Amino acid sequence: MSLDLGFLFGNKKLPLVGVDISSSGVKLVELSEAGRNEFRLERLASEPLPRGAVVDGNIENIEQVSEAVRRVWKKSGTRAKHVALGMPPASVITKKIVLPGGLNEDELEVQVESEASQYIPFALDEVSLDFDVIGPAPSAPEDVEVMLAATRKEKVEDRVAVAEAAGLKPIVMDIESYAARAVVDRLAERPAKGGQGQIVALFQIGAQMTHVSMLLDGQAVYEREQPFGGNQLTQEIVRAYGLSFEDAESKKKTGDLPDGYERELLHPFLENAALEVTRAIQFFFTSTPYTRVDHIYLAGGCAVLPGLVELVNERAQVPTSVFSPFEGMQLASGVREKQLRAEAPAFLVACGLAMRRFDQ
Ligand SMILES: Nc1ncnc2c1ncn2[C@@H]1O[C@H](COP(=O)(O)OP(=O)(O)OP(=O)(O)O)[C@@H](O)[C@H]1O
Ligand SMILES: [Mg+2]
């Protein structure tokens, strides 16, 4: 076992773009620094993936995915060859452990490896392991708390292979949910976003999956994935109007569908989505000590479906809004605001990955 490409917590200040690879497509974001903790959105682009190329976060077809990465990179106009990639949270095991303080990096690594073997259900030589010292342990200040992250080597290697085949160089490997959280954190520091002691529920409603995180002061106190997403609505459209999947996808976005679509297909889907949200919140209450959610954010491609925010707000009885990762950022002249409004919530993970460029 080594840290070959296991630098899940890498931090480099090179020009770098965030590339999010997920089931509906590949998304790219490039940010630049426009002051202290202020960013400018330089560019964003996305490319759809053929169905089946990425399933449940696993890359099933390296060639198709690397082709899409190559296209999105070209289309974006960026020149940065260094990329930050994300790993799906389900493929990464994370664990906080406590180790004696005062160890040097090598000693830490040895300790981490021996601790890790207790938590990881695979042979250690099949694993990419990384760790990050969080700080003094709350229980014993002479000890340190260390966050351990482990993933199957082949999962990391698939992503690296995709980027390299597209002519890019992956230098940061993050966990998708961490990337998303970094964006929420940045905005939570703004006074209008609540702040201390608030429980924020973040729902990323994608194509296949809905990722739920409950955040308390930037810490995830609960995380879960539910098999629910926009593909279900697309499939309904395919079935009802005899369209191809690709046509159904694009007409879903423009709303260019026959009368009756809203009542017969869209509204039932929105009700299901709202039910997923309220059920997830109930689960959260029954499986944790928490009894309250102060705000719901909707992100992922489905967040912009007309009427969803209002319905979730009504069903959950919790203030709800669409989460826009680029809020408060300056926009480069090439970024169209209209496009941004429709697409920004789907770029949450890509934005978080792009922010890794500025890690201290
Ligand atoms: N403007 C839009 N209007 C309606 N639906 C949209 C819009 N944009 C994207 N979607 C839907 O959002 C879904 C894709 O969302 P997203 O890009 O967050 O998913 P993903 O991360 O690729 O999927 P997953 O996380 O499930 O692997 C698709 O079902 C797509 O049809
Ligand atoms: Mg997603």
Q: What is the pLDDT of residues 257-306, one digit of tens each?
A: 999 999 999 999 999 999 999 999 999 999 999 999 999 999 999 999 99
Residue type, 347: F
The rounded distance, in Å, linking the Cα atoms of 48 and 181 is 24
247 CB-contact burial (10 Å; exposed 0-12 / middle 13-18 / buried 19+): middle
- The residue whose CB lies within 8 Å of the most ligand 1 atoms, and thus the one to mutate among 20, 23, 24, is 24
Name the pairing type of β-strands 92-100 and 143-152.
antiparallel
* Whether residue 27 is found in the same domain as residue 169: yes
* Whether residue 89 is found in the same domain as residue 203: no
Ligand 1 atom closest to residue 249's alpha carbon, by position in its atom list: 31
* Whether residue 254 is found in the same domain as residue 294: yes
Ligand 1 atom closest to residue 46's alpha carbon, by position in its atom list: 17
Quote the pLDDT of residue 3: 32
Assess whether pLDDT exceeds 60 at residue 9: no
Assess whether pLDDT exceeds 60 at residue 43: yes
Give the number of other CB atoms < 10 A from CB of residue 223.
Answer: 17
Domain that holds residue 168: 16-184+329-358
Quote the pLDDT of residue 190: 56
Ligand 1 atom closest to residue 230's alpha carbon, by position in its atom list: 29
Task: Quickly list H helices, the chain.
Answer: 62-76, 105-119, 153-165, 176-188, 231-241, 245-254, 261, 267-287, 308-316, 337-343, 348-355
* Whether residue 56 is found in the same domain as residue 170: yes
Has residue 261 been placed in a domain?
yes
> What are 223's two structure tokens?
């995380």
Has residue 199 been placed in a domain?
yes
Ligand 1 atom closest to residue 27's alpha carbon, by position in its atom list: 17
Ligand 1 pocket, CB under 6 A: 22-25, 206-209, 229-231, 234, 249, 252-253, 300-302, 304-305, 342, 346
89 CB-contact burial (10 Å; exposed 0-12 / middle 13-18 / buried 19+): buried
* Whether residue 167 is found in the same domain as residue 23: yes
Q: pTM for the full model?
A: 0.91
Ligand nearest to the CA of 206: 1
By mean pLDDT, which of 52-66, 128-142, 296-310 is the weakest? 128-142
Ligand 1 atom closest to residue 302's alpha carbon, by position in its atom list: 12
* Whether residue 67 is found in the same domain as residue 150: yes
* Whether residue 45 is found in the same domain as residue 97: yes
315 CB-contact burial (10 Å; exposed 0-12 / middle 13-18 / buried 19+): middle
Quote the pLDDT of residue 1: 25
Number of domain units in the chain: 2
Mean pLDDT (whole number) for 233-262: 96
* Whether residue 230 is found in the same domain as residue 339: no
* Residue 316 near residue 334 (C-beta atoms within 8 A): no
Has residue 304 been placed in a domain?
yes
* Whether residue 138 is found in the same domain as residue 272: no
The protein residue with its alpha carbon nearest to ligand 1, atom 25, reads 206
Assess whether pLDDT exceeds 50 at residue 2: no
User: How close is the Cα of 347 to the center of ligand 2, in Å?
Assistant: 9
Has residue 147 been placed in a domain?
yes
- The residue whose CB lies within 8 Å of the most ligand 1 atoms, and thus the one to mutate among 60, 224, 302, is 302
Q: Which residues pair with 298 in a beta bridge?
A: 203, 322
Has residue 122 been placed in a domain?
yes
Has residue 4 been placed in a domain?
no
Concatenating the DSSP letter of every residue in 198-223 gives -EEEEEEE-SS-EEEEEEETTEEEEE
Which CATH number does the domain housing residue 208 bear? 3.30.420.40
Average pLDDT of the chain is: 90
Assess whether pLDDT exceeds 60 at residue 181: yes
* Whether residue 26 is found in the same domain as residue 167: yes
User: How close is the Cα of 346 to the center of ligand 1, in Å?
Assistant: 7
The 10s digit of each residue's pLDDT in 21-30 is: 999 999 999 9
* Whether residue 165 is found in the same domain as residue 199: no
Has residue 9 been placed in a domain?
no
Has residue 7 been placed in a domain?
no
